[in-house]
Amino acid sequence: MKLPATEVALLEAASATDPRTVEQLAEETGEKPEAVTRAAFELADEGLVAVEERTEESYALTDEGETYLESGLPELRLYRAAVEAGAADDPVSMGRVIGASGLEGPEVDIALSNFARKGLGRIDSGELSAEGDADPDADAETAALAAVAAADDPDPEVADRLAERGLLDRSEVTERAVTLTDDGVTALMEGVETAETVGQLTPEMLTSGEWEDVEFAEYNVEADAEPVTGGRSHILRQTAEAVKDTLVGMGFEEMDGPHADADFWINDALFMPQDHPARTHWDRFTLDVDPMDDLPDDLVGRVEDAHRNGVGPDGEGYHSPWSREFAEEVALRGHTTSLSMRYLSGYQVGELEPPQRFFSVEKVYRNDTLDPTHLLEFFQIEGWVMADDLSVRDLMGTFEEFYSQFGITDIEFKPHYNPYTEPSFELFGTHPETGEIVEIGNSGIFRDEVLEPLGVECDVMAWGLALERLLMLMYGFEDIRDVHGTLCDLDLLRNVEVVH
Ligand SMILES: N[C@@H](Cc1ccccc1)C(=O)O
């Protein structure tokens, strides 16, 4: 039997009783491991050897992991500083502990988010208390980092968590072991000879014409290749595109408009009283820019009248102060319902005749506290339908159809209050991992106090859904920061595919 040189060397080095790994065989034959793997698969195809594969996880410290192994994990440094400051007895101001800990930049966030998770203590209204019984020297994550540094096996669960924190790189190593089959033994006994094969075509072979007589080695398309982690679109972006496709498929057109807008469009047009708590500096990001003093006078007049006196024979209005200056102030929009107001009023694209359906998937800004389910900037899936005789059934049916396209079929509704819709409903879905009920949106049918000043004479149902929450239900994230910011899970962002 004639075989290429590497195959012959491999057959001779392999044993019928003792499985040898590709690495052992590579050492013995003096061939590269890739060449041995390729040859082993060739021989396996011929039935001369059996190849057994085993996949194992392997870990390596990232640069950050190495830094923390030396300096201590940020949360432990925070804990030690807290104990030193007396936080095991009485709560101490967070700023003071952070100052004393020497933590800087992103390390502060990292320390704070892991501090409570590890039960090292609690953070409450800017004060930090330390758990007296915690033992920073017995930290499982530090132990796992040290194990990896010493080439020992870390606890797999802890190692997974460290990989998520970006402190360990996880890779899968496939180990292959080769054994001679009976046919392989027979072939060896009958004698195998080397057939010359060429792996690389050279310019010399081309000019001399030698290429016509040689036998070329076959490509091994199963050989391991280095993973490539180039740029790709972010999971949130991919999901936003999927949402847009879905809504366009449902007959909606896309809205577009300013992120920084007049309070008039963000709040007044929505019949939000000017003294509503959501309009104070606590919730909104005010901008130090010129007011928008070119608002359409007629419309502003009708909106002011609705606020002061109400609409229709029984309308009450708010009888509270209303100022045009406040309406002209510019802030970052806290919801994209500002766009709906611009479109419904005819201001953005001219007057619209019913029926109409519009949507946007755009960023909104709220002065919230960052936590596992809240960001200061997030994407809202805004939408509305303008038609005669809309009912709550239409609203619910639209959501059921929309969410079912993303595999979510257990939407629940809860009556709610918005100054601009009546009735109003909050939407909920079930988190696939924790089973918890998660709020995913807010909706309703616009009140006359909103529609009449806008000049809309039929019904309009509308909603604002959170894109990030949809993501949590689709992929089972428990912390939205897994896809954003310094704590994001790079492995996931590199590998996830959005399908819908
Ligand atoms: N603006 C609401 C969502 C909404 C839009 C339109 C009608 C009803 C509710 C929010 O941000 O929560």
Whether 380 has a binding-site annotation, put simply, is yes
What span, in angstroms and rounded, lies between the C-alpha atoms of 60 and 167? 9
Specify the residue for token string 């360990």: 168
DSSP state letters, 362-418: EEEE-----BTTB-SEEEEEEEEEEESS--HHHHHHHHHHHHHTTT----EEEEEEE
Ligand 1 center from residue 218 Cα (angstroms): 62
Whether 422 has a binding-site annotation, put simply, is yes
Ligand 1 center from residue 444 Cα (angstroms): 8
Determine the residue of 261, 268, 271, 337 to mutate for testing ligand 1's pocket, defined as the one with the most ligand atoms within 8 A of the Cβ atom: 337
Paired tokens of 152: 């020992």
Is residue 227 within 8 A of residue 44, CB to CB? The reply is no
Cis peptide bond prior to 273, omega within 30° of 0:
no
Is residue 278 within 8 A of residue 365, CB to CB? The reply is no
Residue nearest to atom 5 of ligand 1 (CA): 463
Residue nearest to atom 11 of ligand 1 (CA): 335
Residue nearest to atom 9 of ligand 1 (CA): 443
Ligand 1 center from residue 324 Cα (angstroms): 23
The answer as to whether 65 is a domain residue is no
Ligand 1 center from residue 360 Cα (angstroms): 12
pLDDT digits (tens, 9 = 90+) for 471-486: 999 988 888 888 888 8
Whether 382 has a binding-site annotation, put simply, is yes
Question: Which atom of ligand 1 is nearest the CA belonging to 382?
Answer: 5
Q: Running DSSP on this structure, what letter comes out for residue 93?
A: E
Question: Which atom of ligand 1 is nearest the CA belonging to 334?
Answer: 11
Ligand 1 center from residue 121 Cα (angstroms): 37
DSSP state letters, 111-150: HHHHHHHTTSEEEETTEEEE-TT--GGG-HHHHHHHHHHT
pLDDT at 211 (0 to 100): 87
The answer as to whether 101 is a domain residue is no
Ligand 1 center from residue 337 Cα (angstroms): 6
Ligand 1 center from residue 354 Cα (angstroms): 21
The answer as to whether 242 is a domain residue is yes
How many Å from the N-terminal Cα to the C-terminal Cα in the chain? 53
Question: Which atom of ligand 1 is nearest the CA belonging to 424?
Answer: 8
Whether 347 has a binding-site annotation, put simply, is no
Residues with CB under 6 A from ligand 1: 335, 337, 418, 421, 442-444, 462-464
* Burial readout 418-454 (b: 16 or more C-beta within 10 A, e: otherwise): bbbbeebbbbbbebeeeeeebebbbbbbbbbbbbbbb
Residue nearest to atom 6 of ligand 1 (CA): 463
Residue nearest to atom 3 of ligand 1 (CA): 464
Question: Which atom of ligand 1 is nearest the CA belonging to 380?
Answer: 11
Burial of 352 (0-12, 13-18, 19+ CB in 10 A): middle
Whether 381 has a binding-site annotation, put simply, is yes
What three-state secondary structure class fits 284? Answer: coil
Report angle CA 241, 246, 249 to the nearest 5 degrees. Answer: 125
Show the domain range for 329. Answer: 236-495
The answer as to whether 364 is a domain residue is yes
pLDDT at 418 (0 to 100): 95
Residue nearest to atom 8 of ligand 1 (CA): 443
pLDDT at 282 (0 to 100): 66
Q: State the total domains in the chain.
A: 1
What three-state secondary structure class fits 354? Answer: coil
483: left (phi over 0), alpha (psi -120 to 50) or beta: alpha
The answer as to whether 303 is a domain residue is yes
Helix (H) or strand (E) holding 240: helix 235-249
pLDDT digits (tens, 9 = 90+) for 338-368: 999 999 999 999 999 999 999 999 999 998 8
Paired tokens of 224: 């391991």
Is residue 388 within 8 A of residue 354, CB to CB? The reply is yes
Helix (H) or strand (E) holding 304: helix 297-309
Residue nearest to atom 2 of ligand 1 (CA): 464
The answer as to whether 328 is a domain residue is yes
All residue ranges of the chain with pLDDT < 50 are none
Whether 197 has a binding-site annotation, put simply, is no
pLDDT at 254 (0 to 100): 98
Q: Which residues pair with 253 in a beta bridge?
A: 358
Ligand 1 center from residue 498 Cα (angstroms): 26
Ligand 1 center from residue 413 Cα (angstroms): 14
The answer as to whether 68 is a domain residue is no
Burial of 197 (0-12, 13-18, 19+ CB in 10 A): middle
Other C-beta atoms lying within 10 Å of the C-beta of residue 292: 17
Q: Which residues pair with 382 in a beta bridge?
A: 360, 464
Whether 123 has a binding-site annotation, put simply, is no
pLDDT at 423 (0 to 100): 97
Question: Which atom of ligand 1 is nearest the CA belonging to 446?
Answer: 7
The answer as to whether 41 is a domain residue is no
* CATH code at position 337: 3.30.930.10
Residue nearest to atom 12 of ligand 1 (CA): 442
Q: Which residues pair with 178 in a beta bridge?
A: 20, 51
